[in-house]
Structure formats: C-alpha cells, structure tokens
Amino acid sequence: MKNKDKMLLFSLICMLLALASCKKYYQETGVHEAKYNGNILQYMEDKKPFFDSTLTVIKLAGMADVVSKENITFFAPPSGSIFKSVKQLNVYLRVQGKDTVSKLSQIKPLVWKNILSQYIFKGASRLKDYPQRDTLSYLAYPGQGYASYGNRIMNIGVIFNDAVVYNSAGAEISRVAYAGYRQLYLAYIPDLSNPQVSLVNIPVATSDIQPTNGVLHVLTKSKHNFGFNTNTFIEQAISAGIDPATP
C-alpha cells in the first residue's frame, strides 16, 4: 500500500473512532426533529398517513389516554404492519370458509389492548438509555428484559454496527467493530424460560422522537407484522370472537 493510501486509511479510522467516542447515534432514516410540542397521540395524528390504522387500534383498545397523557415509551408499529397481520388473518378465515375482516372494529377491543400493550413501556427512555445487543454474541451483549405495559417481558437493546472504510474504488479495506451507526431493536421473546432463543427482532426505523409525555420510537414496517407472531395474533382474534361486518 502506498504511503498516501496508508495515511488516508489512518485518518479515516481516527475520524471514526472520534465519532464513536462522542457517543453520537446514527440511524438510516434521515433527519427528524427530536422535540415535538404535543403529546405522542398528537404527533401520530400529525403523521396520520403513516399511523392511520395504528391510531384506530389505539382507540379501539381504549388506550388513547395512556398514549396521550401518561409518561411512556412507545415503540409504535406503523399502519402497514397492522395491515399485514389482518391480511394473514383473512387468508386463514377464507380457508376456513368464514367471513373475513373488513373493519378493525370487528376484532375485539381486548385483543387489540393485549397486543398493543407489548409495545408500550412506563417511563421515558431514549436510545442512549438501553444496553448494547449483539445478535451474534448474546452472551456478551444480550440487551435487557423490560416489562411492557401489559407486563409482558420484551428484550430491548442497541445494535452497534461496524464502521466500514472503503478505498477510492469502493472496495472495503478496513472494518472497525462497533464504531458505526447505532440502531435500537425491540424483540419479542416467544419462550420466557429461554429468553435468548428464537427472539423476533424488530428494528426501529426512527428513534428518540420526544413529544411532551415521553419518547416515541417508530418500528420498521418492512420487518414487522403487528403482534410479532402472526399466528398468535390470529389465534387471539379468533378465540375472542370476530364480530360480523356492519354496513
């Protein structure tokens, strides 16, 4: 390697290490305003095209006061994740020769409340407040279990990605472990007796939005179905009974 290239590599690595030492956090979601002059529910209503179905579920679950008045951390599922789970429910119902769900209100409020409560935690916690997770090294960096609003234990942690240095041709020439952008994850634990096995890991698309009554983290739509396990959602909805559609 030429001296010029060595100096460039050394400078880039120093810059990356300096950024990491300053504890700045980077997400692949662009720039957003952290502070919001309104509560969590109002923020979501301002972004209604993204949260339309989510807002409906919050109200059907009877949790509008929780989201608007209590001091909470909300890992908000976007409307798309709810649509995917209901779509799968309808596939199952068609196979069984039953009427499908055309309105979210056909699903019992208790079902919505039980599932939505898994995304809400008491107190305001930002990305910096959570421990490190490494999905390839759970023993070293396991994240941490937190009791949700519905008293379900969920795993939350921050993935410290590697920082990669490329040469002028675009080829990777160096990688600095844990020095890249940091991304928050919410994970569903299927078996609470084995809290590090088969976790359903959901990445946060945008973190640390700070309305007046807590912190909002928005989950990634493409990586998530509402309820984490769609079969569990379907079982709960059918077990509770699905109301017939009304005109």
Question: Rg of the chain's alpha carbons, rounded to an integer?
Answer: 21
In this prediction, residue 242 carries a pLDDT of 95
User: Which residue type sits at 216?
Assistant: L
What's the rounded Cα separation, in Å, for the pair 168 and 152? Answer: 49
User: Which residue type sits at 117?
Assistant: S
Complete DSSP assignment for 78-115: PHHHHHHHHHHHHHHHHHTT-PPP-SGGGB-HHHHHHH
In this prediction, residue 222 carries a pLDDT of 78
Which residues of the chain form beta strands (DSSP E)?
Answer: 72-76, 120-122, 132-133, 144-147, 153-160, 163-166, 172-176, 182-188, 200-209, 214-219
Around Cβ 155, how many Cβ atoms within 10 Å? 21
pLDDT digits (tens, 9 = 90+) for 129-175: 999 988 777 778 889 999 999 999 999 999 987 777 777 777 777 77
pLDDT, mean over the chain: 85
Burial of 72 (0-12, 13-18, 19+ CB in 10 A): buried
Q: Which two tokens stand for residue 67?
A: 């989201």
The length of the chain is 247
pLDDT digits (tens, 9 = 90+) for 59-100: 999 999 999 999 999 999 999 999 999 999 999 999 999 999
pTM: 0.83
pLDDT digits (tens, 9 = 90+) for 20-61: 333 333 333 334 568 999 999 999 999 999 999 999 999 999
